[in-house]
Structure 1
Amino acid sequence: MRTEKILLVDDEVGILNMLELVLKKEQFHQLHKAMTGKESIELVKEIKFDLILLDVMLPDRDGYELCREIRNYTNAPIVFLTARSSDLDILTGLGIGGDDYITKPFNPLEVVARINAHLRRQKLLSKTQNDSKTDGIWKFQTFTLFEKEGRIEVNGNSLSFTAKEFELLLFFCKNKNQIFTAEQLYEKVWGEEVYGDVKTVVMYVSKLRKKIEKDYKNPKYVLNIRGLGYIFVPHYLSETK
Protein backbone atom coordinates (compact mmCIF):
# COMPACT_ATOMS: atom_id res chain seq x y z
CA MET A 1 0.00 0.00 0.00
CA ARG A 2 1.32 3.45 -0.98
CA THR A 3 1.74 5.94 1.85
CA GLU A 4 1.77 9.15 -0.20
CA LYS A 5 -1.04 11.61 0.53
CA ILE A 6 -2.75 13.03 -2.56
CA LEU A 7 -5.31 15.84 -2.76
CA LEU A 8 -7.82 15.74 -5.65
CA VAL A 9 -9.49 19.08 -6.41
CA ASP A 10 -12.30 19.24 -8.97
CA ASP A 11 -15.88 20.46 -8.98
CA GLU A 12 -17.09 17.45 -10.98
CA VAL A 13 -18.06 14.54 -8.75
CA GLY A 14 -17.69 12.05 -11.60
CA ILE A 15 -14.06 13.01 -12.22
CA LEU A 16 -13.22 12.87 -8.52
CA ASN A 17 -14.77 9.43 -8.14
CA MET A 18 -13.07 8.12 -11.29
CA LEU A 19 -9.65 9.40 -10.17
CA GLU A 20 -10.17 7.92 -6.72
CA LEU A 21 -11.07 4.53 -8.21
CA VAL A 22 -8.07 4.49 -10.57
CA LEU A 23 -5.60 5.62 -7.91
CA LYS A 24 -6.87 3.08 -5.39
CA LYS A 25 -6.24 0.34 -7.95
CA GLU A 26 -2.65 1.63 -8.01
CA GLN A 27 -2.50 1.21 -4.22
CA PHE A 28 -2.91 4.91 -3.40
CA HIS A 29 -5.30 4.92 -0.44
CA GLN A 30 -4.48 8.17 1.34
CA LEU A 31 -6.66 10.26 -0.95
CA HIS A 32 -8.52 13.44 -0.04
CA LYS A 33 -11.09 15.22 -2.20
CA ALA A 34 -12.21 18.84 -2.43
CA MET A 35 -14.70 20.56 -4.74
CA THR A 36 -13.93 24.20 -3.90
CA GLY A 37 -10.95 26.39 -3.29
CA LYS A 38 -12.00 26.96 0.29
CA GLU A 39 -12.11 23.23 1.03
CA SER A 40 -8.71 22.81 -0.62
CA ILE A 41 -7.00 25.44 1.52
CA GLU A 42 -8.49 24.00 4.69
CA LEU A 43 -7.12 20.56 3.81
CA VAL A 44 -3.70 21.88 2.78
CA LYS A 45 -3.40 23.70 6.11
CA GLU A 46 -4.26 20.52 7.99
CA ILE A 47 -2.49 17.78 6.00
CA LYS A 48 1.00 17.54 4.51
CA PHE A 49 0.26 16.34 0.98
CA ASP A 50 2.79 14.72 -1.33
CA LEU A 51 0.97 15.80 -4.51
CA ILE A 52 -2.05 17.88 -5.51
CA LEU A 53 -4.22 17.43 -8.62
CA LEU A 54 -5.88 20.79 -9.23
CA ASP A 55 -8.67 21.86 -11.57
CA VAL A 56 -8.44 25.43 -12.87
CA MET A 57 -12.14 26.26 -13.09
CA LEU A 58 -13.62 25.96 -9.60
CA PRO A 59 -16.94 27.44 -8.49
CA ASP A 60 -15.56 29.80 -5.86
CA ARG A 61 -12.21 30.87 -7.30
CA ASP A 62 -9.72 30.60 -10.14
CA GLY A 63 -7.36 27.62 -9.91
CA TYR A 64 -4.32 29.76 -10.76
CA GLU A 65 -5.09 32.08 -7.86
CA LEU A 66 -5.64 29.05 -5.64
CA CYS A 67 -2.27 27.61 -6.69
CA ARG A 68 -0.52 30.79 -5.54
CA GLU A 69 -2.20 30.53 -2.14
CA ILE A 70 -1.44 26.82 -1.81
CA ARG A 71 2.23 27.62 -2.39
CA ASN A 72 2.17 29.55 0.90
CA TYR A 73 1.66 26.25 2.72
CA THR A 74 3.34 23.52 0.69
CA ASN A 75 5.95 22.79 -1.98
CA ALA A 76 4.25 19.54 -2.99
CA PRO A 77 3.97 19.03 -6.77
CA ILE A 78 0.83 20.62 -8.20
CA VAL A 79 -0.55 19.05 -11.38
CA PHE A 80 -3.22 21.08 -13.15
CA LEU A 81 -6.07 19.01 -14.59
CA THR A 82 -8.24 21.25 -16.72
CA ALA A 83 -10.11 21.84 -19.96
CA ARG A 84 -8.22 25.09 -20.54
CA SER A 85 -5.59 24.06 -23.05
CA SER A 86 -4.13 27.15 -24.74
CA ASP A 87 -0.38 27.76 -24.68
CA LEU A 88 -0.96 30.85 -22.52
CA ASP A 89 -2.99 28.81 -20.01
CA ILE A 90 -0.25 26.19 -19.78
CA LEU A 91 2.55 28.75 -19.40
CA THR A 92 0.53 30.63 -16.80
CA GLY A 93 -0.11 27.46 -14.81
CA LEU A 94 3.53 26.44 -14.84
CA GLY A 95 4.72 29.97 -14.17
CA ILE A 96 2.69 30.61 -11.02
CA GLY A 97 3.79 27.46 -9.21
CA GLY A 98 2.38 24.45 -11.04
CA ASP A 99 4.61 21.50 -11.87
CA ASP A 100 2.61 19.87 -14.67
CA TYR A 101 -0.43 20.47 -16.85
CA ILE A 102 -2.85 17.81 -18.12
CA THR A 103 -5.77 18.81 -20.32
CA LYS A 104 -9.26 17.31 -20.33
CA PRO A 105 -10.35 14.90 -21.65
CA PHE A 106 -7.50 12.80 -20.30
CA ASN A 107 -6.40 9.20 -20.10
CA PRO A 108 -6.57 8.11 -16.43
CA LEU A 109 -3.49 5.91 -16.92
CA GLU A 110 -1.53 8.94 -18.12
CA VAL A 111 -2.54 10.78 -14.94
CA VAL A 112 -1.27 7.86 -12.85
CA ALA A 113 1.99 7.79 -14.82
CA ARG A 114 2.50 11.53 -14.31
CA ILE A 115 1.75 11.22 -10.59
CA ASN A 116 4.29 8.40 -10.20
CA ALA A 117 6.88 10.40 -12.13
CA HIS A 118 6.41 13.49 -9.94
CA LEU A 119 6.51 11.49 -6.73
CA ARG A 120 9.77 9.80 -7.81
CA ARG A 121 11.25 13.16 -8.77
CA GLN A 122 10.07 14.74 -5.52
CA LYS A 123 11.86 12.08 -3.48
CA LEU A 124 15.04 12.61 -5.49
CA LEU A 125 14.87 16.40 -5.24
CA SER A 126 14.09 16.25 -1.55
CA LYS A 127 17.28 14.30 -0.96
CA THR A 128 19.25 16.45 -3.40
CA GLN A 129 18.04 19.74 -1.95
CA ASN A 130 18.95 18.62 1.53
CA ASP A 131 22.46 18.07 0.18
CA SER A 132 22.41 21.10 -2.12
CA LYS A 133 21.17 23.86 0.21
CA THR A 134 22.80 23.78 3.63
CA ASP A 135 23.28 26.80 5.89
CA GLY A 136 22.88 29.34 3.11
CA ILE A 137 24.85 27.39 0.50
CA TRP A 138 23.06 26.84 -2.83
CA LYS A 139 24.68 24.13 -4.98
CA PHE A 140 23.84 23.55 -8.62
CA GLN A 141 25.54 21.78 -11.50
CA THR A 142 27.74 24.63 -12.67
CA PHE A 143 27.78 27.06 -9.75
CA THR A 144 27.56 27.34 -5.96
CA LEU A 145 26.28 30.43 -4.18
CA PHE A 146 27.49 31.07 -0.62
CA GLU A 147 24.84 33.40 0.78
CA LYS A 148 26.54 34.31 4.07
CA GLU A 149 29.92 34.82 2.45
CA GLY A 150 28.57 36.79 -0.49
CA ARG A 151 30.56 34.57 -2.82
CA ILE A 152 29.86 32.50 -5.95
CA GLU A 153 31.92 29.68 -7.40
CA VAL A 154 31.46 28.70 -11.03
CA ASN A 155 32.84 25.30 -12.00
CA GLY A 156 34.88 25.31 -8.80
CA ASN A 157 36.43 28.74 -9.35
CA SER A 158 35.50 31.91 -7.44
CA LEU A 159 34.30 34.61 -9.84
CA SER A 160 33.79 38.30 -9.27
CA PHE A 161 30.13 39.36 -9.07
CA THR A 162 28.80 42.84 -8.38
CA ALA A 163 26.47 43.28 -5.41
CA LYS A 164 23.39 43.50 -7.61
CA GLU A 165 24.43 40.50 -9.69
CA PHE A 166 24.77 38.53 -6.46
CA GLU A 167 21.42 39.76 -5.11
CA LEU A 168 19.65 38.95 -8.37
CA LEU A 169 21.06 35.43 -8.53
CA LEU A 170 20.25 34.86 -4.85
CA PHE A 171 16.67 36.01 -5.47
CA PHE A 172 16.40 33.51 -8.34
CA CYS A 173 17.80 30.71 -6.14
CA LYS A 174 15.21 31.44 -3.45
CA ASN A 175 12.34 31.70 -5.94
CA LYS A 176 13.05 28.88 -8.38
CA ASN A 177 10.50 27.76 -10.97
CA GLN A 178 8.53 31.00 -10.71
CA ILE A 179 8.00 33.56 -13.46
CA PHE A 180 8.74 37.22 -12.69
CA THR A 181 8.37 40.15 -15.04
CA ALA A 182 11.34 42.48 -15.43
CA GLU A 183 9.38 45.10 -13.49
CA GLN A 184 8.82 42.68 -10.59
CA LEU A 185 12.50 41.73 -10.52
CA TYR A 186 13.51 45.39 -10.42
CA GLU A 187 11.19 46.06 -7.50
CA LYS A 188 12.28 42.91 -5.60
CA VAL A 189 16.04 43.27 -6.10
CA TRP A 190 16.60 46.99 -6.51
CA GLY A 191 13.82 47.88 -4.07
CA GLU A 192 12.37 50.58 -6.25
CA GLU A 193 9.38 50.97 -8.51
CA VAL A 194 10.20 50.96 -12.18
CA TYR A 195 8.36 53.11 -14.68
CA GLY A 196 8.63 51.24 -17.94
CA ASP A 197 12.44 51.08 -18.10
CA VAL A 198 13.45 47.40 -17.79
CA LYS A 199 16.81 47.72 -19.52
CA THR A 200 18.66 47.38 -16.20
CA VAL A 201 17.12 43.97 -15.50
CA VAL A 202 17.76 42.77 -19.05
CA MET A 203 21.40 43.86 -18.78
CA TYR A 204 21.94 42.12 -15.42
CA VAL A 205 20.29 38.90 -16.57
CA SER A 206 22.64 38.94 -19.56
CA LYS A 207 25.63 39.40 -17.23
CA LEU A 208 24.52 36.50 -15.02
CA ARG A 209 24.09 34.21 -17.99
CA LYS A 210 27.59 34.95 -19.23
CA LYS A 211 28.99 33.96 -15.82
CA ILE A 212 26.93 30.92 -14.77
CA GLU A 213 25.75 29.34 -18.02
CA LYS A 214 27.82 26.83 -19.98
CA ASP A 215 26.44 28.42 -23.15
CA TYR A 216 24.94 31.83 -22.39
CA LYS A 217 23.30 31.99 -25.82
CA ASN A 218 21.33 28.85 -24.94
CA PRO A 219 20.73 29.31 -21.20
CA LYS A 220 19.32 26.52 -19.02
CA TYR A 221 19.14 28.34 -15.66
CA VAL A 222 17.68 31.79 -16.33
CA LEU A 223 15.08 31.46 -19.06
CA ASN A 224 12.97 34.10 -20.76
CA ILE A 225 9.34 33.06 -21.26
CA ARG A 226 8.22 35.29 -24.10
CA GLY A 227 5.49 37.70 -23.07
CA LEU A 228 5.58 36.61 -19.41
CA GLY A 229 9.02 37.20 -17.90
CA TYR A 230 12.03 35.37 -16.46
CA ILE A 231 12.17 32.04 -14.63
CA PHE A 232 15.04 30.33 -12.81
CA VAL A 233 15.13 26.57 -13.47
CA PRO A 234 17.42 24.74 -11.02
CA HIS A 235 19.72 21.97 -12.21
CA TYR A 236 21.14 20.03 -9.27
CA LEU A 237 24.38 18.13 -8.96
CA SER A 238 22.80 14.68 -8.99
CA GLU A 239 20.79 15.28 -12.16
CA THR A 240 22.03 14.04 -15.51
CA LYS A 241 24.19 16.73 -17.02
Structure 2
Amino acid sequence: MSSEKILIVDDDKEIIDFMEFNLKSEGYSVLKAYNGKEALQLVEKNEVHLIVLDIMMPELDGMEVCRRVRMTKNIPIIILSAKSSEVDKVVGLSTGADDYIVKPFSNMEFIARIKAQLRRYIYLNDNCKQKSIDSLIMVSGLEINKETFKVKVYEKEINLTKTEYEIVLLMAENPNRVFPLEEIFERVWKEKYFLGNNTVMVHIARIREKIEDNPREPKIIKTVWGVGYKIED
Protein backbone atom coordinates (compact mmCIF):
# COMPACT_ATOMS: atom_id res chain seq x y z
CA MET A 1 0.00 0.00 0.00
CA SER A 2 1.41 3.37 -1.01
CA SER A 3 1.82 6.05 1.66
CA GLU A 4 2.20 9.02 -0.69
CA LYS A 5 -0.44 11.75 -0.54
CA ILE A 6 -1.45 13.38 -3.80
CA LEU A 7 -3.34 16.65 -4.16
CA ILE A 8 -5.52 16.91 -7.27
CA VAL A 9 -6.71 20.38 -8.24
CA ASP A 10 -9.36 21.00 -10.91
CA ASP A 11 -12.65 22.88 -11.10
CA ASP A 12 -14.21 20.03 -13.09
CA LYS A 13 -15.77 17.54 -10.64
CA GLU A 14 -15.88 14.72 -13.20
CA ILE A 15 -12.13 14.96 -13.83
CA ILE A 16 -11.49 15.12 -10.09
CA ASP A 17 -13.59 11.99 -9.53
CA PHE A 18 -11.80 10.18 -12.39
CA MET A 19 -8.35 10.99 -11.00
CA GLU A 20 -9.36 10.20 -7.42
CA PHE A 21 -10.73 6.78 -8.35
CA ASN A 22 -7.62 5.78 -10.29
CA LEU A 23 -5.18 7.09 -7.71
CA LYS A 24 -6.96 5.34 -4.86
CA SER A 25 -6.97 2.14 -6.93
CA GLU A 26 -3.16 2.38 -6.90
CA GLY A 27 -3.15 2.83 -3.12
CA TYR A 28 -2.45 6.57 -2.96
CA SER A 29 -4.07 8.94 -0.48
CA VAL A 30 -5.92 11.77 -2.22
CA LEU A 31 -6.69 15.38 -1.32
CA LYS A 32 -9.04 17.39 -3.56
CA ALA A 33 -9.28 21.10 -4.32
CA TYR A 34 -11.61 22.84 -6.76
CA ASN A 35 -9.79 26.16 -6.99
CA GLY A 36 -6.32 27.60 -6.59
CA LYS A 37 -6.91 29.22 -3.22
CA GLU A 38 -8.18 25.98 -1.70
CA ALA A 39 -5.17 24.14 -3.15
CA LEU A 40 -2.69 26.44 -1.41
CA GLN A 41 -4.50 26.03 1.90
CA LEU A 42 -4.29 22.22 1.62
CA VAL A 43 -0.58 22.34 0.77
CA GLU A 44 0.01 24.52 3.83
CA LYS A 45 -1.87 22.22 6.21
CA ASN A 46 -0.89 18.78 4.88
CA GLU A 47 2.18 16.78 3.91
CA VAL A 48 1.67 16.54 0.16
CA HIS A 49 4.01 14.42 -1.98
CA LEU A 50 2.74 15.43 -5.43
CA ILE A 51 0.28 17.92 -6.96
CA VAL A 52 -1.79 17.39 -10.12
CA LEU A 53 -2.77 20.90 -11.12
CA ASP A 54 -5.22 22.23 -13.71
CA ILE A 55 -4.38 25.58 -15.29
CA MET A 56 -7.78 27.20 -15.83
CA MET A 57 -9.42 27.60 -12.39
CA PRO A 58 -11.30 30.21 -10.34
CA GLU A 59 -9.71 32.17 -7.47
CA LEU A 60 -6.14 31.52 -8.64
CA ASP A 61 -5.09 29.83 -11.87
CA GLY A 62 -2.75 26.86 -11.94
CA MET A 63 0.26 28.88 -13.05
CA GLU A 64 0.03 31.18 -10.03
CA VAL A 65 -0.53 28.25 -7.68
CA CYS A 66 2.58 26.57 -9.11
CA ARG A 67 4.68 29.71 -8.63
CA ARG A 68 3.57 30.10 -5.02
CA VAL A 69 4.12 26.44 -4.13
CA ARG A 70 7.60 26.60 -5.65
CA MET A 71 8.54 29.44 -3.27
CA THR A 72 8.53 27.00 -0.32
CA LYS A 73 8.21 23.41 -1.61
CA ASN A 74 10.13 21.14 -3.98
CA ILE A 75 7.37 18.53 -4.36
CA PRO A 76 6.57 17.32 -7.90
CA ILE A 77 3.89 19.28 -9.77
CA ILE A 78 2.14 17.91 -12.86
CA ILE A 79 0.15 20.44 -14.85
CA LEU A 80 -3.07 19.49 -16.64
CA SER A 81 -4.15 21.50 -19.66
CA ALA A 82 -6.32 21.29 -22.76
CA LYS A 83 -3.67 23.35 -24.54
CA SER A 84 -1.23 21.13 -26.40
CA SER A 85 1.07 23.56 -28.23
CA GLU A 86 4.80 23.53 -27.49
CA VAL A 87 4.63 27.16 -26.33
CA ASP A 88 1.94 26.32 -23.75
CA LYS A 89 4.04 23.43 -22.44
CA VAL A 90 7.15 25.60 -22.18
CA VAL A 91 5.22 28.29 -20.27
CA GLY A 92 3.78 25.68 -17.92
CA LEU A 93 7.12 24.06 -17.19
CA SER A 94 8.85 27.43 -16.77
CA THR A 95 6.64 28.22 -13.77
CA GLY A 96 8.25 25.32 -11.92
CA ALA A 97 6.13 22.35 -12.95
CA ASP A 98 7.85 18.98 -13.41
CA ASP A 99 5.54 17.54 -16.06
CA TYR A 100 2.68 18.53 -18.37
CA ILE A 101 -0.27 16.33 -19.33
CA VAL A 102 -2.64 17.30 -22.13
CA LYS A 103 -6.37 16.67 -21.71
CA PRO A 104 -7.93 14.28 -22.50
CA PHE A 105 -5.51 11.67 -21.17
CA SER A 106 -5.66 7.94 -20.55
CA ASN A 107 -5.54 6.39 -17.11
CA MET A 108 -2.44 4.38 -18.09
CA GLU A 109 -0.50 7.52 -19.07
CA PHE A 110 -1.75 9.40 -16.00
CA ILE A 111 -0.64 6.74 -13.50
CA ALA A 112 2.69 6.22 -15.31
CA ARG A 113 3.48 9.94 -15.06
CA ILE A 114 2.51 9.99 -11.37
CA LYS A 115 4.74 7.02 -10.54
CA ALA A 116 7.69 8.41 -12.51
CA GLN A 117 7.60 11.73 -10.66
CA LEU A 118 7.19 10.11 -7.26
CA ARG A 119 10.11 7.72 -7.90
CA ARG A 120 12.34 10.63 -8.81
CA TYR A 121 11.22 12.71 -5.83
CA ILE A 122 11.67 9.89 -3.30
CA TYR A 123 15.05 8.87 -4.77
CA LEU A 124 16.41 12.42 -4.62
CA ASN A 125 15.10 12.97 -1.09
CA ASP A 126 16.60 9.69 0.15
CA ASN A 127 19.96 10.57 -1.42
CA CYS A 128 19.92 14.01 0.19
CA LYS A 129 19.10 12.51 3.58
CA GLN A 130 21.88 9.93 3.23
CA LYS A 131 24.32 12.64 2.20
CA SER A 132 23.39 14.66 5.27
CA ILE A 133 23.87 11.63 7.52
CA ASP A 134 27.24 10.78 5.95
CA SER A 135 28.49 14.35 6.38
CA LEU A 136 27.62 14.51 10.09
CA ILE A 137 29.93 13.26 12.84
CA MET A 138 28.59 12.97 16.38
CA VAL A 139 30.91 11.83 19.13
CA SER A 140 31.48 12.68 22.79
CA GLY A 141 29.12 15.69 22.75
CA LEU A 142 30.66 17.00 19.53
CA GLU A 143 28.69 17.50 16.34
CA ILE A 144 30.72 18.22 13.19
CA ASN A 145 29.11 18.98 9.84
CA LYS A 146 31.70 18.29 7.16
CA GLU A 147 29.69 20.09 4.48
CA THR A 148 29.22 23.38 6.36
CA PHE A 149 32.38 23.05 8.57
CA LYS A 150 30.26 23.90 11.60
CA VAL A 151 31.12 22.46 14.98
CA LYS A 152 28.74 22.23 17.93
CA VAL A 153 29.33 21.11 21.49
CA TYR A 154 26.12 20.03 23.19
CA GLU A 155 24.10 22.00 20.60
CA LYS A 156 26.15 25.18 21.09
CA GLU A 157 28.02 26.33 17.97
CA ILE A 158 31.76 26.77 18.44
CA ASN A 159 34.01 28.95 16.28
CA LEU A 160 37.22 27.12 15.41
CA THR A 161 40.06 28.23 13.17
CA LYS A 162 40.81 26.09 10.11
CA THR A 163 43.72 24.38 11.88
CA GLU A 164 41.73 23.79 15.07
CA TYR A 165 38.89 22.34 12.99
CA GLU A 166 41.26 19.92 11.22
CA ILE A 167 42.70 18.71 14.52
CA VAL A 168 39.28 18.07 16.01
CA LEU A 169 38.02 16.43 12.82
CA LEU A 170 41.02 14.09 12.68
CA MET A 171 40.32 12.72 16.14
CA ALA A 172 36.51 12.75 15.83
CA GLU A 173 36.68 10.67 12.64
CA ASN A 174 38.83 8.13 14.50
CA PRO A 175 37.31 7.87 17.99
CA ASN A 176 39.27 6.04 20.69
CA ARG A 177 42.44 6.09 18.62
CA VAL A 178 45.36 7.82 20.32
CA PHE A 179 47.20 10.28 18.04
CA PRO A 180 50.83 11.08 18.90
CA LEU A 181 51.91 14.73 18.64
CA GLU A 182 54.06 14.06 15.62
CA GLU A 183 51.26 12.36 13.68
CA ILE A 184 48.80 15.19 14.37
CA PHE A 185 51.40 17.72 13.25
CA GLU A 186 52.34 15.91 10.06
CA ARG A 187 48.71 15.19 9.05
CA VAL A 188 47.39 18.68 9.77
CA TRP A 189 50.37 20.90 8.92
CA LYS A 190 51.66 18.60 6.16
CA GLU A 191 55.22 19.13 7.38
CA LYS A 192 57.87 16.96 9.03
CA TYR A 193 57.66 17.01 12.83
CA PHE A 194 60.78 17.90 14.77
CA LEU A 195 61.51 17.19 18.42
CA GLY A 196 60.61 20.00 20.80
CA ASN A 197 57.90 21.42 18.56
CA ASN A 198 55.02 22.36 20.90
CA THR A 199 52.69 23.69 18.17
CA VAL A 200 50.18 20.87 18.61
CA MET A 201 50.03 21.27 22.38
CA VAL A 202 49.37 25.01 22.02
CA HIS A 203 46.52 24.34 19.58
CA ILE A 204 45.03 21.61 21.77
CA ALA A 205 45.05 24.04 24.70
CA ARG A 206 43.22 26.65 22.59
CA ILE A 207 40.67 24.11 21.40
CA ARG A 208 40.00 23.00 24.97
CA GLU A 209 39.35 26.60 25.98
CA LYS A 210 36.60 26.66 23.38
CA ILE A 211 34.98 23.24 23.75
CA GLU A 212 35.53 22.08 27.31
CA ASP A 213 33.50 23.14 30.34
CA ASN A 214 36.69 22.96 32.38
CA PRO A 215 39.84 22.96 30.18
CA ARG A 216 41.92 21.77 33.16
CA GLU A 217 39.78 18.62 33.38
CA PRO A 218 38.96 17.89 29.72
CA LYS A 219 36.18 15.42 28.94
CA ILE A 220 36.21 15.62 25.13
CA ILE A 221 39.86 15.73 24.07
CA LYS A 222 41.70 13.51 26.51
CA THR A 223 45.43 13.26 27.10
CA VAL A 224 47.09 9.85 27.09
CA TRP A 225 50.26 10.67 28.96
CA GLY A 226 53.45 9.89 27.14
CA VAL A 227 51.55 9.05 23.93
CA GLY A 228 49.21 11.78 22.65
CA TYR A 229 45.53 12.75 22.45
CA LYS A 230 42.20 11.09 21.69
CA ILE A 231 38.45 11.63 21.54
CA GLU A 232 36.41 8.76 22.97
CA ASP A 233 33.05 7.68 21.58
| TM-score normalised by length of structure 2 | 0.55
> How far off its partner does 1:147 sit?
8.8
Tell me the residue number matched to 2:87. 88
- Say whether the 8 Å CA contact 1:45–1:73 is kept in structure 2: no
Q: Any residues of structure 2 matched to 1:159-170 within 5 Å, and which?
A: none
* Larger Rg belongs to: 2
- Say whether the 8 Å CA contact 1:6–1:32 is kept in structure 2: yes
> How far off its partner does 1:61 sit?
2.2
1:128 and 1:101 map into 2 onto residues whose CA distance is 25
Tell me the residue number matched to 1:43. 42
> How far off its partner does 1:109 sit?
1.6
- Say whether the 8 Å CA contact 1:48–1:74 is kept in structure 2: no
1:10 and 1:86 map into 2 onto residues whose CA distance is 20
User: Superposition RMSD on alpha carbons, in Å?
Assistant: 2.2
> What SS is found at the alignment partner of 1:119?
helix
1:77 and 1:133 map into 2 onto residues whose CA distance is 22
Unaligned runs of 5+ in 2: 136-145, 150-233
1:96–1:133 CA distance, 2 compared to 1 (3 A): farther
> Which sits farther off after the overlay, 96-105 or 59-68?
59-68
**Cα-to-partner distance string for 1:94-139 (whole Å, 9 max, x where unaligned):** 1121000000010112111111111111111112233557999xxx
Q: Alignment length, in residue pairs?
A: 139
- Name the % identity: 44
| 1:93 alignment partner AA | G
Q: Any residues of structure 2 matched to 1:48-197 within 5 Å, and which?
A: 48-131=47-130
> What SS is found at the alignment partner of 2:59?
coil
Tell me the residue number matched to 1:185. none
Of structures 1 and 2, the one with the larger relative CO (CA 8 A, separation 6+) is: 1
| TM-score normalised by length of structure 1 | 0.53
> How far off its partner does 1:62 sit?
2.2
Tell me the residue number matched to 1:21. 21
> How far off its partner does 1:34 sit?
0.3
2:14 and 2:74 map into 1 onto residues whose CA distance is 28
1:81 and 1:88 map into 2 onto residues whose CA distance is 15
Tell me the residue number matched to 2:8. 8
**Cα-to-partner distance string for 1:76-102 (whole Å, 9 max, x where unaligned):** 100001112221111111112100000
1:39 and 1:18 map into 2 onto residues whose CA distance is 19
